[in-house]
Structure 1
């Protein structure tokens, strides 16, 4: 595998930016489905072949090109000639790369105030491979700086920080529940996800052996049921529009959960955190993706886990590589 400065990679068609600390998981995912990794540099994984979704990538560069430059100004001009908006991915030659970035049109990457929609302006990704070589892609899968959304956090009201995962998931989903929607939150306690759903005006049925945080349990939109979240069936709760779960469990059990609710409620939106135990089983991830309409994505607020989406309209485009790469 090549490293930055050891020769510019060739023969690649897409570059994935791996989720933090998950380069190996990304490589395993890509290799398991038969694609060829041609180079790796830090968290950049260069892949030959048509772009396909990569769950362990926080961003994918879908139209990468190598550009030879003579100077800092030449590098900035080359990027501006391709498009306006760029985000720098730092691999090497950090000072020189920053001097090039300083000559590009400024972009204000503001933290989102939830609920909000992702930015819509195209955002390219680039890195300085060596002093005279840029690698840049004007087309990427994420409109966030280096594929990492940030939110204005609520440090007072949520019962735990898990709420940030659902904020991010709903933002990337481009849809969210609201008044009139019935939501099922499996494994809810202490209630971070239930808090998000109720704050949006939805009715929430929360299920957990443990109790919700007292302030949340008293809300009129929330009906808490004590019990095993894996034992709940559709007949127990009636029609629901959203099924959400941040349960801590082995991924095989979460696969069963996803399969059941996707089949039992084919028109509902399903969002489930898939907790990975130890080394990531790429074949198991493929079994999640075998569920019709499924998408998997590592969120910026995930740890050693992925987020499973099954949404009526398809789900986050970031998990589909459904981007036009033509100039």
Structure 2
């Protein structure tokens, strides 16, 4: 997670990044690691807290809004880089980061924290979607939630507050990014035949990356109605038509990603068609990205969600 956020904070700018494995307490003291992960910029820990000594334990980061996390946020890393005289971000990089904030939870990522059973239940939800194409019933998740002394409703409500998933008026799962329990414009068929809906174009591209499987994505251009098909096989994608593009956008409102950006991230048959759609939606800001970048964004956001640990 820390490496992913450092990469996002750099936003393509050139920097030397070294990953160091710390194997014992002596090396922790040598490197100045006060818990894993520790991020050093030019040898200095910009997030160090007074009185904290070297440690091999897991490190918890407390953010300004009172929430805790397993790594510094992207915006915090960006500020630390700037304060250290790091490479400046060009305006386009900042805009792109702002566009992706809702889908990436403002740099906090979409991998739920391990505390309070959040990750275990979240991963159980995602695996059920992957296996069946449908959302699990709350009763299906009871054994996982009860193993940490909580009810399914409590864990799902917390996951919803943190925008890992959305619930309907009855407390049932309506979506768990990248999956949707109700039909959308993007249909994903996995190798083996399981079919499911995704919340947006980026989510659709993230599904095969998250599951490590081949898939076919069927969508359509919202302007022309023409089909757009992406076949992912052995981590290689084939786009039909080959001029297809992805528009990454967001609305000016605030709220969960489902409300802010999901219907503003679509496949188009061409960049010209995406530009036409944007002209028809003045409340949306965004940009057309290349096929390669769209896949990379999907991989970065959703690839780690089912990782162990």
Larger Rg: 1
Common fold: TM-score over 0.5:
no
